[in-house]
Amino acid sequence: MSDEDVTRLLKEAYSDEIETVMNYLSNAVVLDGVRAEEIKNSLEADVQEELDHARMLAERLKQLDEQPPGSMEFEARQESLQPPEDTTDVPSVIEGVLEAEDDAIETYKQLAKAAEENDDLVTEDIAVTLLTDEEAHRTEFRGFRKEYVQD
């Protein structure tokens, strides 16, 4: 993989983080029900974390003499994370979050690998840091899924 792969993956990851912020923010607001409260609080906290991820990726792109994409370059991909019509349908949001976190984990693994091959240790470090956060998010939502499946 070349240094172009590194910048392509950085831009892709940046866009995914921005889309995640949009969808977590929306879902954190729209869900209804007593049992949804925990999920909403968790999504709300993650909005800030994912925004911080986007900022770290944007700053790294700048350091590499590149730019994070603006909205006209944006391509939506998180179909499964759209706020549900039935606002009590918490399980569908949990599944959407798990899919988004799996995607992010895959992207950061690829980014870490591409960065390592190009001897870009700073990008590699960022990729591993964000990978650690996304794995923690996934573990948390796997726990929520377990609870919902039991009922």
Among 11, 40, 60, 137, binds Fe ion (CB under 5 A): 137
Q: Does position 53 bind Fe ion by CB under 5 A?
A: yes
Q: In this complex, which beta carbon is closest to Fe ion, that of residue 114 or of residue 130?
A: 130
Task: Collect contacts of 70-75 with beta carbons under 8 A, ≥24 apart.
Answer: 73/15, 74/15, 74/18, 74/19, 75/15
User: Which of these, 47, 48, 59, 68, lies nearest to 125 by C-alpha position?
Assistant: 59
Residue 134 interacting with Fe ion (CB under 5 A):
yes
Of 12-20, 72-80, 85-93, 116-124, the segment contacting Fe ion by CB under 5 A is: 12-20
Report the alpha-carbon angle 86-142-113, nearest 5.
115
**Is 120 one of the binding residues for Fe ion (CB under 5 A)?**
no
Q: Verify binding: residue 40, Fe ion, rule CB under 5 A.
A: no
Identify which of residues 19 and 50 has a Cβ nearer to Fe ion in the complex. 50
Farthest-apart Cα atoms in the chain, separation: 52
Tell me: does residue 60 bind Fe ion (CB under 5 A): no
CB of 54 to Fe ion, least distance (A): 8
| Residue from the set 21, 31, 43, 50 that interacts with Fe ion by CB under 5 A | 50
Q: How many residues bind Fe ion (CB under 5 A)?
A: 5
Q: How far apart are CA 20 and CA 14, in angstroms?
A: 10
Q: Are the beta carbons of 44 and 121 closer than 8 angstroms?
A: no
Between 116 and 135, whose beta carbon lies closer to Fe ion?
135
Tokens 């939502």 -> residue: 141
